[in-house]
Amino acid sequence: MADNRLSPLDMISKLRSATSARIFLPRAGAALTTRTTLDFQLAHAEARDAVGERLDAESLVDDLTSRGLTAVRVKSAARDRRSFLLRPDLGRRLDDDSRERLKSFAGDYDLAFVIAEGLSARAIARHALPVLEQTLQSLDRSSWNIAPIILAEQGRVALGDDIGETLGAKLVAVFIGERPGLSSPDSLGVYLTFAPRVGRTDAERNCLSNIRPQGLSYPEAARKLLYLCNEARRRRLTGVDLKDEAETLASAELREIDAKK
């Protein structure tokens, strides 16, 4: 009988192919190899650069407008990137001028989409529009009153609460650049909050994380977000009491289809 067990080197190769994490790094004596060290330094530099980058808001507004979407630019209370990084609380609330501007767009909205650069403008520039487009294409626009798309500069997740409350939206979905990692400087997150208002906690939100081609794909992210939006509206809640059961339901539907064949 043939021995199908993998050799140690083959096992290491298989594990490496399954993750972008740094595992089983090659060594030269007691130290890492030069190539490995340089790769790490490059990844660290890219992560630091991603945090400091600023979003080209004007270009993004043009992209949204060209797709027939109304876009409104707002700013958080953080006056610059330094204060945004050192004072997270300032990134969680609108500045006074932005709040007054949003009041003119207030209405009875079912859902508001907020795009905020967060800690990775690169993630927004690369991934926000594809996910937003696929979500809107799948959304039944006849039964959802969608607010103008809000583009928030120097914004953190909780800024969506202030925006949603000011707009009068029942749900707010915040597309935001996540904290860069050493293998993912462009990871996009989406945070969904029912009945947004200042003071909401993270336990009252649902999060889709690591949206990018190397992580959660655009179609899958849009499908999960759509499921959560529908369930949040039906059950009137988000957060720890709302589980993402999209996969379970999809599997059940497939089993039902197979049973009918």
pLDDT at position 44 = 82
Chain mean position to CA 85: 19
Chain mean position to CA 211: 6
Element (DSSP H or E) covering residue 190 = strand 188-194
Residue 261 CB coordination number (10 Å): 4
Of the pLDDT bands very low, low, confident and very high (cuts 50, 70, 90), residue 177 is: very high
Average pLDDT, the chain: 89
Q: Which range (47-56, 201-210, 214-223) has the least confidence?
A: 47-56
Helices and strands (H, E) in the chain, number of each type: 10, 8
168: left (phi over 0), alpha (psi -120 to 50) or beta: left
Q: Delineate the domains of the chain, giving CATH numbers in brackets.
A: 56-247 (3.40.50.11240)
pLDDT at position 254 = 44
Cβ proximity of 87 and 172 under 8 Å: no
Q: Return the DSSP state at 69.
A: -
| Distance separating alpha carbons of residues 87 and 78, to the nearest angstrom | 8
Q: In what order do the strands lie in the sheet with 205-211?
A: 71-75, 149-153, 112-116, 171-177, 188-194, 205-211
Mean pLDDT of 211-221: 94
pLDDT digits (tens, 9 = 90+) for 233-244: 999 999 999 998
Q: Return the DSSP state at 223.
A: H
The pLDDT > 90 percentage for the chain reads: 67
Q: Give residue for tokens 């090659």.
A: 26
Q: Return the DSSP state at 139.
A: S
Q: Is residue 4's pLDDT more than 70?
A: no
The tokens of 102 are what? 């949003």
Q: Return the DSSP state at 125.
A: I
pLDDT digits (tens, 9 = 90+) for 61-72: 999 999 999 999
Element (DSSP H or E) covering residue 62 = helix 57-66
Cβ proximity of 72 and 100 under 8 Å: no
Cβ proximity of 128 and 188 under 8 Å: yes
pTM attached to this predicted model: 0.83
Q: Is residue 29's pLDDT more than 90?
A: no
Q: Return the DSSP state at 255.
A: H
pLDDT digits (tens, 9 = 90+) for 92-128: 999 999 999 999 999 999 999 999 999 999 999 999 9
Helix 129-138 with 57-66: angle, nearest 10 deg: 30
Spatial neighbors of 78 by CB under 8 A, at least 6 apart, are 84, 87, 90, 91, 154
Spatial neighbors of 140 by CB under 8 A, at least 6 apart, are none
pLDDT digits (tens, 9 = 90+) for 123-161: 999 999 999 999 999 998 889 999 999 999 999 999 999
pLDDT at position 53 = 83
The tokens of 96 are what? 């006074």
pLDDT at position 151 = 96
